[in-house]
Structure 1
Amino acid sequence: MRQRGEPLVNLAPAIVFFLVLMGTIHLVRSLVLPPGLDRLVLYWFAFIPEIASYGLFGLLHQLWAAVTYSLLHGSWPHFFMNGVWLAIFGSPLALRMGTWPFVLFWIATAFSAAAFHFAIDPFSPSILVGASGAISGMMGAATRLGFRVDRRRAQRAFAGRPMTFDEVMRSRAVVAFIVIWLVLNLITGLFLPMGGTAIAWQAHIGGFVAGFFLLPLFPAPGARHF
């Protein structure tokens, strides 16, 4: 039963914003836009490595797409799956950081995910969409924090200072999570495509690594330690 004073929806405002934004975008694409216009949306706002390889114009064209792709989704199951993971890992992180730092963190990890995806396969014609690169960054940040949360708050936020690399390596739980996460991403990405569509494991890894190392640049308000 919900305790008095506890929020009805236990999500950070930033997470609610992103869920509504992404859901609205996909609703418009699914029910309003004709196929031709939807293809234009994908051309301009999805990340396509092959286009980024077409000289300076292609690279500039894909600079914003390296972020906006994270707001697009390929299907409703794709959106709902990402929404669940965003709520689990994104909300405690957004509550720790605050809204605007979290938005900047989203941009940085989404861009890093696309950049790593491009570095691995720069001439791929595949279309990269979905928030999973940024969400992987949130998982990387949660790993760096050892999944510690402040249980005194009604809305539980990740707490504590980021662990040093040595501390991470000495934590069996954290190392086990990283290994299992990496193996599952490689298996699903390389051998188990979903619905005929390959999973962008490169983007997931790029986002995870970025989130792990960028977290100290986004300290909790009032924190004294990186």
Structure 2
Amino acid sequence: MDHTARTIETYDRIAAAYHLIATPEHRTWLENSMRDFFQRLPGPAVLVAGCGEGRDSRYLSGLGARVTSFDLSAAMLALARAADPRGVYWQADLRDLSPIRGTFDGVWACACLYHLTKLEFHSCLAALRARLNPRGVLFLNLKLGTGEHVIDIPRAGYPGGDAVRENLTGSRFYAFYRREELTAYFRGYVVEKEQRDLLAEGDGAMEFVLRRDDSAYPAIPSAL
């Protein structure tokens, strides 16, 4: 079983309890980030990558975004579709965006890109850039540290008490980054904003708002 299959197996198993992971403080942090992201967009079309149970998709839709969402976890998508029957939810892999059609003014990629290997992450950033309209915006967050590992998430890593933690364990793949190594990955984008996620665990995490930049990068044909 490869690293992605192991990760998705875990997400399928914990899908029903996953919404309990976020404390109210962290949810407020994310909603502030989503409002900032939406205000930067050149238009309303948003792609939510790794949408999970669809909570961010629904929030962005409430802000006025025209949202298309995708995830690889069938269990997560079932929850998202049940909560948002009119929403557009696709099953797709971050490593292969071919099922997703069209281009977007923004891509919201929260809590998903760090499940790719660093080589896959580099390819995914280029693929997401190809789906952005001119001056389109990409939000992503990454975990700080070094290396790439499959980790058995400890129960102590989650809020909500022992009853919640018991339902959120499992093996997942993570890549960790040093800030200085990211410049090479961000080629073709301008970093408009970066901030440390002070509520993240371990060595922490960074959030980035990137804007598609064609000035120093060859034009990529728009996806059909």
- Please report the TM-score for the alignment, with normalisation by the length of structure 1: 0.26
Give the alignment's TM-score, normalised by structure 2. Answer: 0.26
- The answer to which structure, 1 or 2, has the higher relative contact order (CA under 8 A, 6+ apart) is 1
Question: Which structure shows the bigger proportion of residues in strand conformation?
Answer: 2
Which is helix-richer, 1 or 2? 1
